[in-house]
């Protein structure tokens, strides 16, 4: 489950379809898509009823999705407008994406950039955490550091 100011997204797991041993990747993908579609149609009325009650109670839209066979499928979701102020170099990035045919508008270009960051989030965040740990070690060795503190710091063990 994921929650933000506009939306609650509920993602459940459904069983993988049973396939023959020699099933191809395309057959597996088709079977998973079929299972997801069948689940979506079969549970629509119940999901709508639950969503209606939850939306009234929590004052947010409720969206649904499933995981099946290692794939994640999200059903209708909220596309919330996000206002931001961009300086010229930032706008030029968006305009370049539009000129290159990657996006149709600045809004699409900004969404594309967010998806790119999202795709690399794990790598980037791990690198940022490593950098922050390094900064903390260097600060601990700085001129304002208490000699007692630096002896206890992880940097002193290196």
In a domain, 79, yes or no: no
Shared domain for 93 and 68, answered yes or no, is: no
In a domain, 59, yes or no: yes
Domain extent, residue 113, equals 88-157
- Total of domains in the chain: 2
In a domain, 47, yes or no: yes
pTM value is: 0.59
Distance separating alpha carbons of residues 9 and 77, to the nearest angstrom: 8
Q: Which residues pair with 73 in a beta bridge?
A: 66
Helix %, strand %, coil % of the chain (to 5)? 55, 15, 30
Shared domain for 47 and 102, answered yes or no, is: no
pLDDT tens, 75-129? 988 988 888 899 999 999 999 999 999 999 999 999 999 999 888 888 888 888 8
Shared domain for 67 and 8, answered yes or no, is: yes
Shared domain for 7 and 68, answered yes or no, is: yes
End position of a domain, from candidates 50, 74, 98: 74
Residue from 7, 5, 9 nearest 61 by CA: 7
What is the signed CA dihedral for 139, 140, 146, 148, rounded to 10 degrees?
180
CB atoms within 10 A of CB 32: 21
């Amino acid at each position: 489950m994921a929650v933000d100011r506009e939306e609650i997204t509920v993602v459940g797991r459904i069983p993988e379809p049973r396939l023959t041993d020699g099933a191809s990747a395309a057959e597996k993908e088709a079977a998973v898509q079929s299972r997801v579609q069948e689940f979506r149609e079969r549970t629509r009325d119940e999901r709508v009823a639950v969503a209606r009650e939850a939306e009234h109670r929590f004052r947010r839209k409720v969206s649904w999705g499933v995981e099946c066979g290692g794939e994640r499928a999200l059903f209708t979701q909220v596309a919330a407008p996000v206002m931001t102020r961009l300086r010229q170099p930032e706008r030029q990035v968006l305009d370049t994406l539009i000129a290159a045919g990657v996006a149709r508008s600045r809004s699409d270009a900004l969404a594309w950039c967010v998806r790119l960051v999202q795709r690399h989030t794990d790598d980037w965040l791990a690198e940022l955490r490593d950098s922050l740990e390094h900064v903390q070690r260097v600060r601990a060795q700085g001129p304002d550091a208490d000699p007692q503190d630096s002896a206890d710091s992880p940097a002193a063990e290196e």
